[in-house]
Structure 1
Amino acid sequence: MPAVAPGAPSPAPAARRRRPVAPLEPVSSRARWMLGVGFFVLFVAVWAFFTLGGFVSPTFLASPVTMVKEGYSLFTEFNFIYDIGMTVWRVFGGFALAAIIAVPLGIAMGAWKPVEAFFEPFVSFCRYLPASAFIPLLILWAGIGETQKLLVIFIGSVFQIILMVAVIVGGARKDLVEAAYTLGANSSGIVKRVLIPGAAPGIAETLRLVLGWAWTYVIVAELIGSSSGIGHMITDSQALLNTGQIIFGIIVIGIIGLVSDFAFKALNRRLFAWSTI
């Protein structure tokens, strides 16, 4: 072992050495934003290089400049803000309806095993059915109005939420449950004072994730039998081979989804500041 000269600083332990890039090593908030924005800048630069450089035909892929121009015309000439509003309403309407039904049922399945045994096979079966497969039936049952589109989002979301909530509630710490029984709590008290508070952060995170899936279902619902919405605009643009408007519509969906995701995260952090989720 090499000797260390008197008065010389001792070498830093391996655990304390600076590791700029290492597994599970956190990054600062500023670095995270710079890296995230950097990817978008790189993506747009590559896109512009291939389209403006003439490597890709405008018929198949519009350039960023053309996309911006087409987006401006959508707002100024085709009242695209109305389409955005209709899509947002459908997403949150169908998702809220699914959450109102799925969260209580998921809590019941996670808390009481007989309830889980009764519902879980059917819910698991339905979870694998694509929501788009129900569209022909929903058109027959509900027509092509708003009810049909809300039901597509509802079907695509409700079964996912039920199972995920049931797993979260069922994974509660057994020692907390036993401690509550020791202190005199009854079954309903266990659910209200132990299971639900403990699972609330996980349930909120589940709702945030499934809300992202709901955006995919609404576009599918709007592609068939719709006279408004972003999906309807994309379908019309496809018929006209207007890839600029198609790309702009896709980007608008991504931006709205990203904003709603950040808002959901901020709300969850505010409501459950004590949670590590």
Structure 2
Amino acid sequence: MTDSKAENSEYITKGSVKLKKKSVLRKILVPQKEVARKNRIILGILAFVLILLFWSWITYGKIVGTMFVPTPSSTFSALTNMLSTGFWSDISITIYRVMTGFFIALIVALPLGILVGAYQPIAAFFEPVFSFVRYMPASAFIPLFIFWIGIGESEKIAIIILGSLPQLVLMIANDIRNVDQSLIEVSYTLGTNTLNVLWKVILPKSLPDIMNTIRIVLGWAWTYVIVAELVGASSGIGFSILQAERTFQIDRIFVGILILGIIGLIVDTVLTLLNKILFAWNF
């Protein structure tokens, strides 16, 4: 009798532990639930620490040969060597190409995307064209642009413009269309004219989403510039990666890739913070 009671109590204890585990998971994994800023930072750092530990495990543990994946220490050594021998200039020229091309594309895409999203006749005229161009890989135009423009800076910038512009126009137009129709109808009911509906209702509501669109497409622009630098370039991060590949310097390839990731993370973080500062009412 005592044995059965002990078994029952043990079963109840195990059951309560399982219920506690489930309740903890349910508290943590709640769809769309906000996470404290401190916890977000901790989790983000933890993710990078785990990646570093995995990288160290497969390289120092000889699971993968250093010919294919360099160790963290050899990669850091290559980084310091590259920075001391002029890699800063490659980083700066790549940043210049990306930001110049993207800024030109944004100047054109922002007003055009707003018009396409707000006015159906304009959308009917422009949207099929941009949808058509959007599916053409920007990298496919590199030989043509080299033939037309040459292998100077204009060719790289043109590739970034071509890759970014259609995406920006269509995504900004979609952000404009996502404004709740009830807000527009209420503004008309209150006597607002069509011009003020665009400037005082649609744009303020959609600007935070447009900022997120800019952040996303800027990330894509980095892929375009690296592809452009792999063909017909004599400087830039992409060129450095290509040179390292030709001489089998895998650690230098890793440095180039990691530098791109670090720059992208910094830019993304700045734009996210800027979005929260400029449009604090939306968060």
* Same fold, judged at TM 0.5 (above): yes
71, 85, 88: which is aligned to 1:81?
A: 88
Tell me what 1:105 maps to. Answer: 112
Gaps of 5+ in 1: 1-16
State how far apart, in whole Å, the 1-side matches of 2:210 and 2:50 are: 35
State how far apart, in whole Å, the 1-side matches of 2:191 and 2:243 are: 64
Structure 1 residue 20: Cα displacement: 4.1
Code of the aligned partner of 2:96 = W
* Residue 179 (structure 2) pairs with residue 142 (structure 1): no
* Residue 50 (structure 2) pairs with residue 45 (structure 1): no
State how far apart, in whole Å, the 2-side matches of 1:202 and 1:29 are: 21
Secondary structure of 1:274 counterpart: helix
State how far apart, in whole Å, the 1-side matches of 2:111 and 2:34 are: 36
State how far apart, in whole Å, the 2-side matches of 1:254 and 1:226 are: 21
Secondary structure of 1:86 counterpart: helix
* Residue 139 (structure 2) pairs with residue 129 (structure 1): no
Structure 1 residue 46: Cα displacement: 1.7
* Residue 38 (structure 2) pairs with residue 30 (structure 1): yes
- Cα 1:263–1:238, aligned 2, differ >3 Å: closer, same or farther? same
Gaps of 5+ in 2: 1-22
Tell me what 1:8 maps to. Answer: none
* Residue 100 (structure 2) pairs with residue 93 (structure 1): yes
Count of matched residue pairs: 259
Tell me what 2:6 maps to. Answer: none
Structure 1 residue 265: Cα displacement: 0.7
State how far apart, in whole Å, the 2-side matches of 1:171 and 1:210 are: 18
- Give TM-score, length-normalised by structure 1: 0.89
Identity rate of aligned residues, in percent?
Answer: 43
Structure 1 residue 175: Cα displacement: 2.8
State how far apart, in whole Å, the 1-side matches of 2:167 and 2:144 are: 21
Q: How does 1:225-264 map to 2 (within 5 A)?
A: 225-264=232-271
Once the two structures are superposed, residues 94-120 of structure 1 have per-residue CA deviations (whole angstroms, 9 ceiling, x without a partner) of: 111111111111110111100001111
State how far apart, in whole Å, the 2-side matches of 1:29 and 1:181 are: 39
Code of the aligned partner of 1:205 = N
Code of the aligned partner of 2:94 = T
54, 66, 69: which is aligned to 2:74?
A: 66
Secondary structure of 2:28 counterpart: coil
- Give TM-score, length-normalised by structure 2: 0.87
Structure 1 residue 228: Cα displacement: 0.8
State how far apart, in whole Å, the 1-side matches of 2:183 and 2:87 are: 52
Tell me what 1:202 maps to. Answer: 209
